[in-house]
Amino acid sequence: MSKVENNKAWWLVLPVFLLVAFSAIIPLMTVVNYSVQDIFDADHAVFVGVEWYREVLLNERLQESLVRQFIFSFTVLAIEIPLGIAVALMMPTKGPMASVSLIVVAIPLLIPGNVVGTIWKIFGRADVGLLGWGLNQLGIDYNYAANPLDAWVTVVIMDVWHWTPLVALLCYSGLRAIPDAFYQAAAIDRASKWAVFRYIQLPRLKSVLVIGILLRFMDSFMIYSEPFVLTGGGPGSSTTFLSQTLTKMAIGQFDLGPAAAFSLIYFLIVLLVSWLFFTTISEMDKDK
Amino acid sequence: MAEIQLKSLAHSYEKSPSGAHDYALREMNHIWDQGGAYALLGPSGCGKSTLLNIISGLLTPSEGEVLFDGVVVNHLPPQKRNIAQVFQFPVIYDSMTVFDNLAFPLRNMKIAEAKVTTKVHEIAEILELHPVLHKKAKNLSADEKQKVSMGRGLVRDDVSAILFDEPLTVIDPQLKWKLRRKLKQIHEQFSITMIYVTHDQLEASTFAEKIAVMYGGQIVQFGTPRELFENPNHTFVGYFIGSPGMNLIEVETTATGVRFDGIDIELSDARNEMLGNIPSTNIKVGIRPEFVHVWNKPTDGAYECDVQHVEDLGTYKILTLKLGEKIIKARLDEDHAVPQQKAYISFPEQWLKIYVDEYLIGEDLV
Amino acid sequence: MSLKLDNIDQVVNGQHHLTSVNLSLEPGSFNVLLGRTGAGKTSLMRLMAGLDKPTTGKIIMNGADVTGISVQKRNVSMVYQQFINYSNLTVRENIASPLRLAKTSEAEINKRVMETADMLRITEFLHRYPLELSGGQQQRTAMARALVKDASLILFDEPLVNLDYKLREELRFELRELFKARNAIAVYATTEPNEALALGGTTTLLHEGQVIQSGPSAAVYREPVDVHAADLFSEPPINLIPGDVTDNEVTFDESVHFPLHQDLKSLTPGGYKFGIRPSHIGLVPSNDDDLEMSMTVELAEISGSETFLHVKNSHFNLVMQLSGVHAYRSDATIDIYLPVHKLFVFNLDGKMIQSPTRLIRG
């Protein structure tokens, strides 16, 4: 549809343009600038071309961190998506319990990242934390500060606890949109619960799930405060994910050049994976 | 096959209904014979969808019993009642092909795949769905989707009744014809009990052998389309059936007949005697526009009236006339000459109905 | 206020939604747009309203070119299929909303709201909320909101389609009455030929984005310009029989032939399509020259006052609309009578060559 032109609208958008330009595009350009320079101090910088990019991509620590990050993101997605769907299926759609369950499910989402980290940090301690103490009582030797596996499991469970509600809420709204008649027809067709899920609910959740997966991937790929507060990246570097590595580099070591180069690479990875995922899903949707 | 019986059936959506107005369905007793084609006809809010859902099992009635072949089924869910239901908008499984859609109920019952294929092809043939059998269901047009919905009900051998809830709502008028014919052919071929809910009296009349007209939660009349047309036993049926509906005029009795606005209509002695014995003051006479005789010239026994409006509907014309203070509508054939300003009308007594307190009386006296 | 559409084309994503549409609407006229779903009725109405712009062509209101002007500047109201009301405002506030936007005085608002509510018989619901009302009442609220504005162009997009059959009949009548007193142009889109006839005024037939005929409703009905027009404006659909004309007779197939009737004498020999309305075929002869044919009954659809009989022979199918109840079983053989002077003649391209001239009996 070619809409009737109303040029005044552009004026209303102008302030937003300026704001975005100021707060996002200009800093991004600065980063690009830094990434191709060797910065000694405020006044001395040398153009080094793609030197930093090469160094960064060959850096072992960064490569390990990248691998760790991918494993983390995929693990977390693999758990949160099905679990979120399951939770959404269990939430009542009518009556007073509907609102109550909505609120209860949403609570973890409201808690800021570092608070979440702190909660689980204490929760997992063997001396004062219910989880830590409980597990040790059961005979399990649980210590997230010393044992890398325990640290991983704790970080993953913490993220699941924090973010599954997002997937659940998205799926819940998707399920609410399904008209009753579909369930009635399925009942008359004698469909099993599994068939109802597979042929009615899942297809209709597709668009909502795409959003959920994209959001969760991007967020988890950039995760910082929760694991940082919980384990500080340890033990050793077993839970040091990409953003932490980058921060250490940029702020800890004040190596702005490589840090800038790496930020851009980081940004591009997220963009690439998201784009790949999105196009794949859109292609699947089109009819053969 | 199923004979469906409703025994003292009533339904209220309120937990503790206090009066008749709280009931969506007021107490009714009714039997639907097996293999019949029936329609539930009424305006929106009359309770027809509620009744249909009670019969199919999607709704449990708050009072009374629903019996299938003599067995009480109140608490049986739809899948245990051997019924199929077609909804207002097509309900299909988007991610499957037409073939899989039709096969779905059979596969759920774990029927052998070979038998499934035969049955699906049989039904696809009848519904003329073969060309699209392997297309994805979500890409079909509305009427094709609705046929798939119907097909799912027909593939099952154990279906004893098919219930339709205003199924032609989303279909183009040009195609409604075809689907109605299809339904009728299916009924003749399979002899399944079919109950069809609609607010369109033409749809109901062309589909059903017998129509249950519903109004205010009650079945007001149950009869063949012809009976409902020629002998509506409630003013609502007179009003609702026929396009336009019956002319209803409030009258008072006189010695020789009835009167309104200074105009006297003579009635037979038998009827006058009957009217003389009635205490009520709510008396109406009704005559269908099709039965009003219209002349262009003054005629013996005809009343003069003003022609207010002529609607040309192609195959017939509707005349809006004013007699006294009342509006009367008459229906003229295409060929009939149209009176210009004045018309002369008469009411043949055999078609003039008398309603006391909204109910038809004195039919045997004509 | 007059409205003219000049050579309108609308192409969306390479598809022609409208092609070469030329229309001229008179002030105070009631215009019906009749066509199937997807024919372009809604697209056309959106152009008239100013919600969309045509790809090529001009829209002229009262002599002024308004093609690029947005809907807020044109004095237009629209009523939709789905009863669209502001659910958080009372009926009164709903009706008042366009007047409030136009900054009309409170006294004037009150007066107009009461007048319009009276006209549409919803005065008793003024304090209620739309969602508490029935479908018919909600649609009347939407109509009141459209009418109170006193717009010069009022568009109705199949507004009665979601309502009860009886309610539809009543509202149609009310609509015509409402319009008698105004100078606005009304445009009403529908898919039902009977509705077009009942509403009267002028009818414009739309088929696949093109105007195939436009004129007074009864005239368009009686004289369809081609096969599509005849088909669109007929419910049940008009019967079409392929036939051949020779020097002295017409044949439908090997068994059915009749001498060239005086009305048909002017036809040059060749192939034609003959049309006959379902209501013109009968079970008894009504004229001396009626064509008698033996057919098999496929289906009898009986409504209370009429029967639709579907019959066929080995070459073609026919639908008959008969008054009264005629219960025939499928596969029964019956004789039908076709009045030859009521035949429509179309050439093989579909254009109408001849329409029945003698219709009134006696």
User: Which position has the token pair 């045509």?
Assistant: C54
Q: Is C232 within the bounds of a domain? A: no
Measured between CA atoms, how close is A259 to chain B, in angstroms? Answer: 47
Together in a domain, B221 and B289: no
Residues of A in contact with B94 (CB under 8 A): 203-204
Same domain for C93 and C221, yes or no, is yes
Tokens of A173: 């709204």
Residue ending a domain, among C226, C253, C285, is: C226
Q: Which of C12, C50, C55 comes nearest A4 by C-beta?
A: C50
User: For B165, which residue in chain A has the nearest alpha carbon?
Assistant: A181
Binning pLDDT at 50, 70 and 90, where does residue A260 land?
confident
Question: Does residue B16 lie within any of the structural domains?
Answer: no
| Domain match, B255 and B198 both | no
Pairwise CB contact (< 8 Å): C50 & A6: no
C-contacting chains (≥3 CB pairs under 8 Å): A, B
* pLDDT score of C163 more than 50: yes
Fold designation for A60-285:
MetI-like fold (1.10.3720)
Question: What average pLDDT does range A88-117 have in this prediction?
Answer: 89
pLDDT over 50 (residue B150): yes
Mark whether C75 and C172 lie in a shared domain.
Answer: yes
Is A4 in contact with C12 (Cβ distance < 8 A)?
Answer: no
When pLDDT is averaged across residues A84-111 and rounded to a whole number, the result is 90
Give per-residue pLDDT as tens, C238-270: 898 888 888 878 888 777 778 777 777 777 888
**Given a cut of 50, is residue C361 above it in pLDDT?**
no
Are B162 and B34 part of one and the same domain?
Answer: yes
What Cα–Cα distance (Å) separates residue C205 from each residue in A122, C57, C156, C198, C234?
76, 20, 16, 15, 12
Rounded Cα–Cα distance for residues A127 and A125 (Å): 6
Number of inter-chain CB pairs under 8 A, A vs C: 20
Does residue B326 share a domain with residue B192?
no
Give pLDDT, residue A5: 57
Q: Residue A4: pLDDT above 80?
A: no
- Give the pLDDT score at C120: 80
Residue B328 lies in a domain: yes
Dist CA B70 CA A204 (whole Å): 41
Question: Is the Cβ pair C68, A4 closer than 8 Å?
Answer: yes
Query: B98 contacts in A (CB within 8 Å)?
Result: none
Asked if residue B284 and residue B211 are part of one domain, the reply reads no
| CB atoms A4 and C71 under 8 Å | yes
Indicate if C40 and C123 belong to the same structural domain: yes
Q: Percentage of chain C surpassing pLDDT 90?
A: 8
Residue C362 maps to a domain: no
pTM attached to this predicted model: 0.76
Do B173 and B286 have their domain in common? no
Domain ranges of chain A: 60-285
Regarding whether C202 and C74 lie in a shared domain, the answer is yes
Same domain, C217 and C327: no
> Quick one: C73 and C148 in the same domain?
yes
> Same structural domain for residues C212 and C284?
no
Q: Number of folded domains in chain C?
A: 2
Residues C69 and C128 in one domain: yes
In a domain, C268, yes or no: yes
Residues B65 and B97 in one domain: yes
* Among C174, C193, C226, residue at a domain's last position: C226
Q: Which of B188, B226, B314 sits opposite C330 (nearest CB)?
A: B188
Residue B124 CA, distance from chain mean position: 29
Q: In the prediction, which pLDDT does A1 show?
A: 42
The answer to whether A188 faces chain B, any CB pair under 8 Å, is yes
Indicate if B231 and B261 belong to the same structural domain. no
Residue C261 DSSP symbol = P
Assign residue B81 the CATH number of its domain. 3.40.50.300
Of B51, B56, B8, nearest in space to B28 by CA = B8
Is the pLDDT at A2 greater than 90, yes or no?
Answer: no
* In a domain? residue B17: no
- Report the pLDDT averaged over residues A177-194: 85
**How many structural domains does chain B have?**
2
ipTM value for the complex: 0.76
Cis peptide bond N-terminal to A235, omega within 30: yes
User: B173 contacts in C (CB within 8 Å)?
Assistant: 191-193, 235
* Interface touch A6/C70, C-beta < 8 Å: yes
Tell me what the mean pLDDT of segment C33-49 comes to.
88
Contact list in A for residue C71 (CB cut-off 8 A) is 4
**AA identity, residue C80:** Y
Cβ separation B139–A287 shorter than 8 A: yes
Q: How far is B152 from chain A (nearest CA, A)?
A: 8
- Residue B268, domain extent: 245-365
Asked, for residue C234, whether it belongs to a domain, the answer is no
Q: Which residue of C has its CA nearest to B200?
A: C165
Which of the residues C8, C46, C52, C71 would you substitute to probe the A interface, choosing the one with the greatest number of A C-beta atoms within 10 Å? Answer: C52
Structural domain of C275: 239-354
- For B343, residues 6+ apart whose C-beta sits below 8 A from its C-beta are B294, B295, B296, B304, B305, B306, B307, B319, B321, B330
- Find the CB nearest C70 among A1, A2, A4: A4
Does any domain span residue C233? Answer: no
User: CA–CA separation, A280 vs A276, rounded Å?
Assistant: 6
C-beta separation of C82 from C158 below 8 A: no
- Which residues of chain A does C15 touch, with a Cβ-Cβ cutoff of 8 Å? none
- Provide the pLDDT for residue C362: 31
Which class for A90: exposed (0-12), middle (13-18), buried (19 or more C-beta within 10 A)? exposed
pLDDT band at B211 (very low <50, low <70, confident <90, very high): very high
Residues of C in Cβ contact (< 8 Å) with B180: 301
pLDDT in tens, B1-43: 578 899 999 888 877 777 777 788 888 898 998 888 999 998 8
Residue B200 with chain C: CB contacts under 8 Å: 165
Looking at the structure, tell me whether residues C218 and C297 fall in a common domain.
no
B261 lies in the same domain as B222: no
